[in-house]
Each structure stands twice: as C-alpha cells, then as structure tokens.
Amino acid sequence: MNMRRSSTRVGVVLASAVLATIGLVSTASAGAPKGVELGTSDTGAFSTAAAVTGLRGVSSYEGTGVPADVTAYGAQRVPAGHKVQGYESPTGDDFGTQSIIGADNRVRVDPTTSFPARATVLITRTVNGVERQHCTGWMFGASLVLTAGHCVYNQTTGWYTGQLRFYPGANGTSFPYGSCTAATLRSNTGWTTDGSADADYGGATLNCSIGNTTGWYGAYWTTASLNGTSTTVQGYPGDKAQQQWTHSDQVRESSSLRLYYDNDTVGGNSGSSVHTVRASGSSGCSGRCSLAFHAYGVGSNGHNSGPRITESRFNLVIGWR
C-alpha cells in the first residue's frame, strides 16, 4: 500500500500567540459532556523565556506479564470467537491517512505478551452494533491510554463517548489482557477547538488498572533538536486484521510542536507511540521512551509526523494519570 496524502489540516488556522503558562493541569471544561476532560491549548511555541536544553521525563515500566485472571485488574474477559470488523477511518474520510514510504518494511510482532507489545493498545469503535478497528494507543500508567486526538474527538461529530473499547496486547483474534472501556476521554482545546494538527493528541482513563500487568511506556521532552534520534512506531495498522506491527527509523526533522520520521504506517496506526529506546539508568527516561503521538502521513516535506511531546504536554498527560 503506497499512500501519500498531505497532513495539512482543514479548519481553523493556528494562532501564533505564545502561551504564558507552561505547567498545564488537566481540568474539566465548562460545558464539556460527562466523561470528558480537556486541557488548555498549548499550540504556542516553547513558552519558557530561556530554553531548557536538558531532558525531562519518566521511565517506562515493563509490568508483570500475563495475569491469571484479567478481571483482577478490572478488565473484561474477551469470549472465544470474538470478532472485530475491519478498520474504519476515525473521521470517515481518511483524514490524515498514514503512509508507507518506499518499500514496506514493517515487521509483525508475535507473540504480543512481552513488553512493549503488551502495553500497545488496539482501540475499537462500535457504531450501530458493529465493532471496528479504529486506532492505536499506548499505556502510560495503570489506567491511562494515550493516543491521537482524532481517535477520541471528531471535528464534525464530537467526542466518541461510549463508543470505544481498548484491548492491550491484542493479537489478531487473541486478547490476552482482555478489554476495558473509557471512564473519561481526554484531549486539549488546541485540537477540540482550534483543530490544530500540531495539537492532535489525547487519551482515555480506563475503567480498569490493566497497566499494572502490561506495564507502560515512558516519555520525555527536550527543547533540543531530536534529529537523528531512533524512532519506533508499533501498533495496529488497518491492513493487518488486528495484528500488531512495528517499524523503526529516525527523526528526520524536528519542529517545536511536531516530529517528522519515515516509519511505515497506515490507517489504524494513529495514536501509536513514536518512541526511542534508552539504556537503563539514562537520565530523564530509560526503556521505551515516547517522543511524539503518531497522527499523520506524508506531508509536503515527504515524512510522516505526529505532535511532539513538549514540556506543557508532558505536564498535562502526567496530570491525567
């Protein structure tokens, strides 16, 4: 599959004002529906007066393996023969279609019971009684999944409240960690109000604590260029029937709010962690350390891309834990 679509957003043009506040805290927005929580927009440039060139973050946690009983963590068992239908674009129009760049060099992850495969989450969406493959997410705490903003909020129809289900470590028709639903969907007003591709990230607080056994990804932010940093995108491409696939590359271009890379992805990979591997004991973050939220396919510069984890975004998602 060779798809090359522009990731240019359609909608409100990003305001260029620099935000004064950087320590964003997740707060319920006035008028937001029940089960939804918004952070403040952070689509300005870096807002610190003096750039911080150090690296700040949290390390990954590898979890404990496959539990004897997923219900002990509040997850639901998935009955044998459970069927998830094929991928359907979150927006219905393949907005932000992801891209294979050159040869398709993706590799299947099988089994999915080791880390980080078990902390990588298949997200499905049910409409009119039909459950379909929707997006990818990644555990970032015992009950928190992070993903792309367009996986939880549609610019036309609004929040996907009550429609999403989360399967950590899904492997085709096997679901070793069961499934959970969302207690709270999360995003930021840069996405939900402004429609900015640079702010296309979100998450969900689950009604289970399955992350205690699957483990979770780490994450970090830095204002320094990340060009040349190794990247892995691991998730559930829509052309692979709920199988988990991975591909490695490197950061090709860094901007203050977005990272660009040539990892092969297709629809369904939206929301995947764009992560790098850092040695045990590394400052700021060790293990599987997320740099960005994968969200878009090839744009005018020829690369796939996703919103970069900045200081304010890091603070926001830590608050979601």
* Distance of alpha carbon 158 from alpha carbon 91, whole angstroms: 10
Q: Which of 150, 247, 275, 303 is catalytic?
A: 150
Q: Does 56 fall in a domain?
A: no
Name the residue type at position 1: M
Position 310, amino acid: T
Percent of the chain with pLDDT over 70: 83
Catalytic-role residue among 179, 270, 272, 305 = 270
pLDDT at 137 over 50: yes
Confidence band, pLDDT 50/70/90 cuts, at residue 301: confident
Type and span of the H or E element at 95: none
167 found inside a domain = yes
* In-domain check, residue 227: yes
Q: Is residue 23 part of a domain?
A: no
Q: Is 290 one of the annotated active-site residues of the chain? A: no
Q: Is 78 within a domain?
A: yes
Examine the pLDDT at 180 and tell me if it is beyond 90: yes
Of 152, 177, 292, 165, the residue nearest 233 (C-alpha): 292
Three-class SS state of 115: coil
Our answer to whether residue 272 is catalytic in this structure is no
* Averaged pLDDT, 147-165: 96
CATH number at residue 282: 2.40.10.10
Count of the separate structural domains present in the chain: 1
The proportion of the chain whose per-residue pLDDT surpasses 90, expressed as a percent, equals 75
CB within 8 Å of 183: residues ≥ 6 apart: 35, 143, 204, 205, 206, 207
Does residue 52 register a pLDDT over 80? no
Predicted local confidence at residue 34, as pLDDT: 66
Residue 52 falls inside a structural domain: no
C-beta atoms surrounding 76 within 10 Å: 15
Show the domain range for 122: 64-320
Residue 45 lies in a domain: no
Is 92 contained in some domain?
yes
Please enumerate in sequence order all residues whose Cβ is within 8 A of that of 243, keeping only pairs 6 or more positions apart, or say none: 108, 109, 110, 171, 172, 236
Over 80: is that where the pLDDT of 297 sits?
A: yes
Distance, C-alpha 93 to centroid of its chain: 20
The span from the CA of 49 to the CA of 261, in Å, is 29
Find, among 202, 196, 207, the residue nearest to 316 by Cα. Answer: 202
What is the three-class DSSP state of 73?
Answer: helix
Q: What pLDDT does 39 receive?
A: 77
Contact, 89 vs 125, CB < 8 A? no
Q: Which two tokens stand for residue 250?
A: 């490197």
